[in-house]
Amino acid sequence: MSGPKYPGFDTLALHAGQSPDPATGARAVPIYQTTSYVFRDSAHAASLFNMERAGHVYSRISNPTVAVLEERVAALEGGVGAIAAASGQAALHLAIATLMDAGSHIVASTALYGGSHNLLGYTLKRFGIETTFVTPRDLASWKSSIRENTRLLFGETLGNPGLDVLDIPAVSKIAHEAGLPLLVDSTFTTPYLMKPFEHGADLLYHSATKFLGGHGIAIGGVLVDSGRFDWERSGKFPQLTAPYAGFHGMDFEEESGTRAFLLRARREGLRDFGACMAPMTAFQILQGIETLHLRMPRHVESTRKVVGFLCSNAFSEKVLYPENKDHPDHALATRLLPHGCGAVFTFDIKGGREAGRKFIESLRVFSHLANVGDAKSLVIHPASTTHYRMSDEDLKKAGIGPGTIRLSIGLEDARDLIDDLERALKASQK
């Protein structure tokens, strides 16, 4: 017998989670566009409902097409399993709602996607869950902000908007010393560029809308559990370690050990909150994942060319990309992201808001919209769009300048992208 060998990333991206369809032999993942599944008989139905047999009952809880996506992402990340959700925000909410009740507290990075910041800073407050925000590279603040009722530490692998690199080994160590899990948003890096579980994260999620799909046609999220956090030993999570009346007295950790978090998230979270993914969406995101290992290197290669161009252009200032030596997290990025720092970054244009507006309107190849991680290159000028109501002073507090431009570099010919940027930069200064 030869030594043990795991399948490579590229093979898993194409195959994990799917066998050729046993009914038809279909090689592609079939779209099981069905709400429900016929029981063999009453005893079979009872066994499925009581979790004595594996299988599907109702597509809000699980669906064969969605399950392929879940297993595939779990395989690529090295997790025990995953749950697909209606969006990245739904995945974040599912994680939080599974782990904590009113009266709980989160310590989170300030460098978050705006939607996540809103959820933590405003919406969850209404439900009794408070968040303390800390500068991601201030390790002392992560530690000192933990309270008796803290239940989660949370950050992004590459933060918004300045691409702050989360020091996952250090922050997870702080979390684990306090008996807490670390959740990371891994959207900008994907498992191709970084596997957060290998660095100490316990839970992660993706907005699959971005690089995993890559095509900009489907909204979705995927929540993955490493299975390595010991909820029982922590003693802070009765949601997972004590009998739960909402599920027939089940003690999820006793029942399933490493699968406790996902079991409750699926059986309660999808059942009661219902933010599940549609099978067609899962199919579309799977089409993207099948080429993730081909797309990500190209995204990174083109981003490096564009970053190089902008760093030498007279009309651009302060290019924030962690591969640049002047980025505050350059050394950390070299250690945690050896395959590249992704394809989303910001730079400041000379001339502030007005120059930013002119620049955006002069671009021809870049699409002006509110998304990232598409095969097509994207651009947004926060000061004239998402943050246009904010004063320059308030923008500064959010780490955004009046001339800050965010680019998401796609898969077009990099020469065309640079030509487009060069022309628009000139136009912005007139």
Partner 1 sequence: MNLQIEGKKAFAYAAAHEFEQAKPTVVFLHGAGLDHSWWGLQSRYFGYHGRNVLALDLPGHGRSEGPPLETIEAMAAWVEKILDDRKLSTATLVGHSMGALVALEFAARHPDRAERIALIGVGYPMKVTDAFLEAAKRNDPAAYDMSTIWGHAPQVPLGANPNPGMWMYGDTLARLGRLAPGVLHSALAACNAYGGGIEAAGKLRCPVLFVLGGRDLMTPARSADALVKAIREPARVQVRTSGHSLMAEAPDATLDALVEFILGAP
Q: Give the x-and-dash track for 258-277 against partner 1 (CB under 8 A).
A: xx--x---x-----------
Looking at 60, 173, 215, 228, which residue binds partner 1 (CB under 8 A)? 228
Question: Which DSSP letter does residue 36 get?
Answer: B
Q: Are 268 and 100 in contact (CB under 8 A)?
A: no
Interstrand relation of 367-368 and 221-225 (parallel, antiparallel or unpaired): unpaired
Total residues contacting partner 1 by CB under 8 A comes to: 56
**Can you tell me the distance from the alpha carbon of 228 to that of 361, in angstroms, rounded to the nearest whole number?**
49
CB of 220 to partner 1, least distance (A): 14
CB of 304 to partner 1, least distance (A): 32
Q: Reduced to 3 states, what is the DSSP secondary structure of residue 61?
A: coil
Instruction: Pick the closest to residue 90 from 279, 212, 269, 237 (CA basis).
Output: 269
C-alpha distances out from residue 157 to 116, 171, 317, Å: 14, 11, 24
Closest CB to partner 1 among 285 and 344? 285
- Mutual orientation of helices 352-362 and 414-428 as an angle, nearest 10°? 140
Closest CB to partner 1 among 52 and 272? 52
Instruction: Pick the closest to residue 135 from 404, 399, 405 (CA basis).
Output: 399
Residues 19-58 that bind partner 1 (CB under 8 A): 19, 47, 50-56
Indicate if the alpha-carbon torsion angle 347, 350, 356, 359 is positive or negative.
negative
Kindly state the tokens that stand for 115. Answer: 């939607």
Q: Are 147 and 232 in contact (CB under 8 A)?
A: no
CB of 326 to partner 1, least distance (A): 38
Q: Are 221 and 84 in contact (CB under 8 A)?
A: yes
Per rule CB under 8 A, is residue 83 in the interface with partner 1? yes
Looking at 124, 218, 250, 400, which residue binds partner 1 (CB under 8 A)? 250
Interstrand relation of 221-225 and 203-207 (parallel, antiparallel or unpaired): antiparallel
Residues 1-20 that bind partner 1 (CB under 8 A): 1, 3-7, 11-12, 15-19
Closest CB to partner 1 among 47 and 386? 47
Q: Give the x-and-dash track for 94-133 against partner 1 (CB under 8 A).
A: ----------------------------------------
Per rule CB under 8 A, is residue 80 in the interface with partner 1? yes
CB of 263 to partner 1, least distance (A): 9
| Count of CA atoms in the C-beta half-sphere (13 A) of 93 | 21
Helix intervals (H) in 105-259: 114-118, 124-126, 139-144, 168-177, 190-193, 231-234, 238-241, 252-256
CB of 96 to partner 1, least distance (A): 19
Instruction: Pick the closest to residue 222 from 262, 194, 253 (CA basis).
Output: 262
Closest CB to partner 1 among 9 and 287? 9
Closest CB to partner 1 among 103 and 243? 243
Closest CB to partner 1 among 266 and 295? 266
CB of 28 to partner 1, least distance (A): 14
Q: Are 98 and 269 in contact (CB under 8 A)?
A: yes
Per rule CB under 8 A, is residue 201 in the interface with partner 1? no
Looking at 13, 32, 84, 332, which residue binds partner 1 (CB under 8 A)? 84
Per rule CB under 8 A, is residue 235 in the interface with partner 1? no
Closest CB to partner 1 among 279 and 351? 279
Closest CB to partner 1 among 56 and 423? 56
Q: Can you give the binding site for partner 1, defined by CB under 8 A?
A: 1, 3-7, 11-12, 15-19, 47, 50-56, 62-64, 66-68, 70-71, 74-75, 78-84, 226-228, 230, 232, 243, 248-251, 254-259, 262, 266
